[in-house]
Amino acid sequence: MKKALFINGSPRKKGNTATLLREAMRGAQEAGCEVEMVDLYDRGLNYKGCMSCFACKIKGGRKGVCSFRDDLQPILEKAVEADVLVCGSPIYCSYPSAGLRAFMERLVFPAVNYSDYSRPVVNKHKCSATIYTMNCPNEQVYRANAYDVVMDISAKQLAMFGPTEILYSFDTYQFNDYSRYDAARFDEAHKAMVRDSQFPKDLEKAYSLGKRLASQCQSDD
């Protein structure tokens, strides 16, 4: 059975990112995948980014997967073996969340072939995607703010493993109750309107994405 792994790079297990990831997961499951979601900010999960141990580059050593032993290592094993991988993150200060960036360092660096950049060390080809959620209102502002420079480049690193895509969810609803926060920059009525009209469409896109990736990927089994 094909395996699909979903990585939530938001600390909020019921936030915008996790909700979209769950829809993508539902799509992949309906298309016949065995699915699993990992919350990177789970309190029981202690890990850091790449520790620069170079175990993944050592001559005769195990290649293509980070072997630094901590709570992330078994998750990286699953990510490397997955047929479908979907990462999700909010934009945090113009970057993917620190949790997802650390995960990406540990996933991507072992695949970088220091002897030949054109031939990454890929144990299993996979279809992948990244889901980004943000306050940013639309794609034009996304590009004007140069978010694409960092966010898209980070997401496109997954292209090492096979075809990859990006799904954006703009202008997300951030607080349960806007009246409790100093956030005059945001109009709650507008945010609620986007949540009720646009976000359901983003959920449909996420569902289709999960289904599409699951159908496109080729399992070795």
Ligand X SMILES: Cc1cc2nc3c(=O)[nH]c(=O)nc-3n(C[C@H](O)[C@H](O)[C@H](O)COP(=O)(O)O)c2cc1C
**Sign of the torsion formed by the C-alpha atoms of 29, 32, 34 and 39:** negative
Q: Among residue numbers 74 through 113, which ones bind ligand X (CB under 6 A)?
A: 90-94
Q: In the numeric block, which tokens belong to residue 63?
A: 């290649």
Cα–Cα–Cα angle for 194, 196, 201, rounded to 5 degrees: 80
| Contact between residue 100 and residue 40 where contact means Cβ atoms under 8 Å apart | yes
Q: Does 172 bind ligand X (CB under 6 A)?
A: yes
CB closer to ligand X out of 79 and 136 = 136
Kindly tell me which residue out of 110, 174, 206, 217 binds ligand X, with binding defined by CB under 6 A: 174
Task: Give the binding range for ligand X (CB under 6 A) out of 11-19, 53-61, 104-112, 209-217.
Answer: 11-19
Output the CA–CA distances (angstroms, integers) from residue 65 to 35, 37, 122, 123, in the order listed.
21, 19, 9, 8
Question: Closest separation between CB of residue 136 and ligand X, Å?
Answer: 3
Which positions from 191 to 210 touch ligand X by CB under 6 A, shown as an x/- string?
--------------------
Binding site for ligand X (CB under 6 A): 10, 12, 15-18, 90-94, 133-136, 172, 174
